Amino acid sequence: MSKIIKFLYIIIGFIALGFGVLGLILPVLPTTPLLLLASFCFVKGSERFEHWFKGTKLYKRHLETFVKERAMTLKQKLTILLFADVMIAIPFFILESFLVRGILVLIVFYKYYYFIYKIKTVREVTSKT
Protein backbone atom coordinates (compact mmCIF):
# COMPACT_ATOMS: atom_id res chain seq x y z
CA MET A 1 0.00 0.00 0.00
CA SER A 2 1.38 3.41 -0.89
CA LYS A 3 2.51 5.86 1.76
CA ILE A 4 -0.11 8.40 0.68
CA ILE A 5 -2.97 5.93 1.21
CA LYS A 6 -1.56 4.90 4.60
CA PHE A 7 -1.26 8.57 5.54
CA LEU A 8 -4.91 9.12 4.53
CA TYR A 9 -5.98 6.18 6.71
CA ILE A 10 -4.13 7.72 9.65
CA ILE A 11 -5.72 11.14 9.06
CA ILE A 12 -9.21 9.61 8.78
CA GLY A 13 -8.45 7.55 11.91
CA PHE A 14 -7.66 10.66 13.92
CA ILE A 15 -10.74 12.47 12.60
CA ALA A 16 -12.93 9.49 13.56
CA LEU A 17 -11.18 9.34 16.94
CA GLY A 18 -11.87 13.04 17.50
CA PHE A 19 -15.55 12.69 16.67
CA GLY A 20 -15.70 9.51 18.77
CA VAL A 21 -14.35 11.40 21.77
CA LEU A 22 -16.90 14.15 21.10
CA GLY A 23 -19.52 11.41 21.11
CA LEU A 24 -18.68 10.76 24.76
CA ILE A 25 -19.91 14.28 25.51
CA LEU A 26 -22.57 14.83 22.83
CA PRO A 27 -25.37 12.25 22.76
CA VAL A 28 -26.02 12.85 19.05
CA LEU A 29 -22.67 11.35 17.99
CA PRO A 30 -22.29 7.57 18.28
CA THR A 31 -19.00 6.83 20.04
CA THR A 32 -18.60 3.13 19.29
CA PRO A 33 -18.93 3.15 15.48
CA LEU A 34 -16.60 6.14 15.21
CA LEU A 35 -14.02 4.41 17.40
CA LEU A 36 -14.41 1.25 15.30
CA LEU A 37 -13.72 3.34 12.21
CA ALA A 38 -10.67 4.86 13.90
CA SER A 39 -9.40 1.41 14.84
CA PHE A 40 -9.90 0.13 11.29
CA CYS A 41 -8.06 3.12 9.85
CA PHE A 42 -5.17 2.78 12.28
CA VAL A 43 -4.85 -0.93 11.43
CA LYS A 44 -4.68 -0.07 7.72
CA GLY A 45 -2.51 3.01 8.18
CA SER A 46 0.18 2.21 10.72
CA GLU A 47 1.16 -0.63 13.00
CA ARG A 48 2.52 1.94 15.47
CA PHE A 49 -0.79 3.83 15.68
CA GLU A 50 -2.72 0.55 15.87
CA HIS A 51 -0.71 -0.54 18.95
CA TRP A 52 -1.00 2.92 20.48
CA PHE A 53 -4.78 3.06 20.00
CA LYS A 54 -5.33 -0.47 21.32
CA GLY A 55 -3.39 0.49 24.44
CA THR A 56 -5.59 3.48 25.30
CA LYS A 57 -8.27 3.41 27.98
CA LEU A 58 -10.73 4.63 25.37
CA TYR A 59 -10.22 1.50 23.25
CA LYS A 60 -10.30 -0.84 26.23
CA ARG A 61 -13.44 0.71 27.63
CA HIS A 62 -15.49 1.04 24.43
CA LEU A 63 -14.17 -1.47 21.87
CA GLU A 64 -12.16 -4.28 23.41
CA THR A 65 -15.19 -6.37 24.41
CA PHE A 66 -16.78 -5.95 20.99
CA VAL A 67 -13.61 -6.82 19.10
CA LYS A 68 -12.78 -9.88 21.23
CA GLU A 69 -16.23 -11.27 22.02
CA ARG A 70 -18.57 -9.69 19.42
CA ALA A 71 -20.48 -8.21 22.37
CA MET A 72 -21.75 -4.75 23.34
CA THR A 73 -23.57 -3.22 26.24
CA LEU A 74 -27.25 -2.44 25.81
CA LYS A 75 -26.44 1.27 25.96
CA GLN A 76 -23.91 0.93 23.10
CA LYS A 77 -26.38 -1.02 21.00
CA LEU A 78 -29.19 1.45 21.55
CA THR A 79 -26.97 4.44 20.82
CA ILE A 80 -25.83 2.96 17.52
CA LEU A 81 -29.30 1.77 16.52
CA LEU A 82 -31.01 5.06 17.30
CA PHE A 83 -28.35 7.16 15.57
CA ALA A 84 -28.58 4.92 12.50
CA ASP A 85 -32.39 5.17 12.58
CA VAL A 86 -32.18 8.96 12.52
CA MET A 87 -29.73 8.87 9.61
CA ILE A 88 -31.96 6.44 7.70
CA ALA A 89 -35.10 8.48 8.48
CA ILE A 90 -33.70 11.55 6.72
CA PRO A 91 -33.68 10.07 3.19
CA PHE A 92 -36.82 8.06 4.01
CA PHE A 93 -38.83 11.27 4.49
CA ILE A 94 -37.03 13.36 1.86
CA LEU A 95 -37.26 10.89 -1.03
CA GLU A 96 -40.55 10.00 -2.63
CA SER A 97 -39.50 6.71 -4.23
CA PHE A 98 -41.37 3.74 -2.79
CA LEU A 99 -38.55 1.43 -3.89
CA VAL A 100 -35.93 3.41 -1.96
CA ARG A 101 -38.22 3.64 1.08
CA GLY A 102 -38.78 -0.12 0.93
CA ILE A 103 -35.04 -0.76 0.80
CA LEU A 104 -34.48 1.57 3.76
CA VAL A 105 -37.13 -0.26 5.78
CA LEU A 106 -35.46 -3.59 4.97
CA ILE A 107 -32.12 -2.16 6.08
CA VAL A 108 -33.65 -1.08 9.40
CA PHE A 109 -35.16 -4.55 9.98
CA TYR A 110 -31.88 -6.26 9.12
CA LYS A 111 -29.95 -3.87 11.36
CA TYR A 112 -32.16 -4.72 14.35
CA TYR A 113 -32.00 -8.45 13.55
CA TYR A 114 -28.19 -8.29 13.43
CA PHE A 115 -27.84 -6.34 16.67
CA ILE A 116 -30.33 -8.54 18.54
CA TYR A 117 -29.24 -11.99 17.31
CA LYS A 118 -25.63 -11.66 16.14
CA ILE A 119 -24.08 -9.35 18.74
CA LYS A 120 -24.19 -10.51 22.35
CA THR A 121 -25.43 -8.08 24.98
CA VAL A 122 -23.20 -7.82 28.03
CA ARG A 123 -23.48 -5.89 31.24
CA GLU A 124 -21.71 -2.58 31.52
CA VAL A 125 -18.50 -3.02 33.48
CA THR A 126 -17.92 -0.39 36.11
CA SER A 127 -14.23 0.27 36.46
CA LYS A 128 -12.63 1.43 39.68
CA THR A 129 -10.37 4.14 38.32
Q: What is the tens place of the pLDDT at every residue in 61-90?
A: 888 888 888 888 888 888 888 888 988 999
104 plus 53 within the same structural domain:
no
7 plus 59 within the same structural domain:
yes
What DSSP character marks residue 55?
A: T
pLDDT value of residue 124 = 74
Over residues 84-103, the mean pLDDT reads: 92
* Domain housing 64: 1-68
Ordered alpha helix ranges (H), the chain? 3-25, 31-45, 47-54, 57-62, 64-69, 74-94, 98-117
> Which among 3, 38, 32, 2 has a CA at the least distance from the CA of 17?
38
Domain total in the chain: 2
d(CA 14, CA 19): 9
Q: What pTM, to 2 d.p., does this model score?
A: 0.69
d(CA 24, CA 31): 6
Over residues 98-108, the mean pLDDT reads: 94
13 plus 56 within the same structural domain:
yes
**In which band, very low, low, confident or very high, does the pLDDT at 125 lie, cut at 50, 70 and 90?**
low
Cross-strand bridge partners of residue 15: none
